[in-house]
Amino acid sequence: MKDIGKIKLIYSMLTSPDGYIEDADGKFGWGAPEDEQLHSCINELASL
């Protein structure tokens, strides 16, 4: 296998202040960003 060197993996995960990722109904739609927020986040990550 060819050695490709080191790579960097960047990820993020939404959690509520109590550490859960879903609401009381087992859904996680609460974390869906608005379009403007999503584009801002993507642009910020792209600059890394």
pTM here is: 0.38
Dihedral sign, Cα of residue 35, residue 40, residue 46, residue 48? negative
Residue 28 CA from chain centroid, whole number? 13
Percent of the chain's residues with pLDDT above 90: 2
Distance of alpha carbon 36 from alpha carbon 39, whole angstroms: 5
The per-residue pLDDT for 1 is: 67
